[in-house]
């Protein structure tokens, strides 16, 4: 009986300990204040370029890509809930898609198969050349999104655009801090 009780306590303690884990970005747990998290990113070579309220923006190298923009978002309790990486702008579909594919392959190596992936063009026909594909990205008629659901949060890889500028976005969402944000919002209601 004592062994059984000890086993139950061990399982509960293990589940509680693993439930307390946060998503990691660049090996840093997405926990604590925005300033603390940004300081840890700076110690890894990223340079802060902007900070106001619950958002900080940094720049630097990420996953062997140079000149990336990293945006860190905290909730109203100053806990980091999301980190976005915007990879450098690309002017051709072949370069843009190559970045997307390379990053997706690396994520699969680390996290396994995608939980969900949509890679399609809106419209009745497929674009036939590089120029038309880029035009479709710019007009928000390109849906390339791959998602991974992990124990500690979600990861999303997307082909994105801002007006005529096309790039890849990689987002990390911390499950525990997002749940706290949602609970705080529900408490307000």
The reply to whether 125 falls in a domain is yes
pLDDT digits (tens, 9 = 90+) for 39-83: 999 999 999 988 999 999 999 999 999 999 999 999 988 899 999
The reply to whether 6 falls in a domain is no
The reply to whether 45 falls in a domain is yes
Tell me what pLDDT residue 12 has.
Answer: 45
Q: pTM for the full model?
A: 0.86
pLDDT digits (tens, 9 = 90+) for 140-176: 999 999 999 999 999 999 999 998 999 999 999 999 9
The reply to whether 146 falls in a domain is yes
| Domain encompassing residue 157 | 23-188
CA distance 37 to 34: 5
Percent of the chain with pLDDT over 70: 89
The reply to whether 17 falls in a domain is no
DSSP-based three-state secondary structure for 114: coil
The arithmetic mean of pLDDT across residues 88-94, rounded, is 97
How many separate domains does the chain show? 1
Q: Which of 183, 118, 184, 115 is nearest to 154 (CA)?
A: 115
Please state which of the ranges 6-15, 76-85, 178-187 shows the lowest mean pLDDT: 6-15
pLDDT of 7 > 50? The answer is no
pLDDT of 87 > 90? The answer is yes
For 39, 89, 95, 146, the CA distances from 179, given in Å and listed in that order, are: 24, 33, 37, 22
CA distance 82 to 153: 10
Other CB atoms within a 10 A radius of the CB of residue 74 amount to 23
The reply to whether 139 falls in a domain is yes
Tokens of 93: 């579909």
The reply to whether 11 falls in a domain is no
């Amino acid at each position: 009986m004592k062994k059984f009780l000890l086993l139950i306590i061990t399982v509960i303690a293990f589940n509680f300990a693993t439930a307390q884990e946060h998503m990691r970005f660049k090996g840093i747990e997405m926990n604590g204040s925005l300033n603390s998290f940004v300081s840890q990113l700076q110690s890894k070579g990223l340079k802060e370029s902007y900070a106001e309220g619950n958002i900080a923006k940094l720049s630097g190298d990420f996953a062997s890509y140079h000149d990336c923009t990293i945006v860190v978002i905290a909730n109203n309790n100053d806990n980091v809930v999301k980190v976005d990486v915007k990879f450098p702008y690309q002017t051709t579909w072949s370069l843009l898609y190559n970045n997307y594919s390379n990053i997706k392959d690396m994520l699969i190596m680390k996290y396994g198969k995608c939980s969900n992936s949509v890679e399609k063009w809106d419209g009745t026909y497929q674009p036939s050349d590089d120029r038309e594909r880029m035009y479709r990205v710019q007009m928000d008629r390109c849906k390339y999104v791959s998602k991974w659901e992990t124990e500690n949060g979600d990861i999303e890889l997307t082909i994105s655009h801002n007006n005529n500028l096309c790039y890849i976005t990689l987002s990390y969402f911390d499950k525990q801090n997002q749940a706290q944000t949602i609970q705080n919002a529900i408490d307000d209601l």
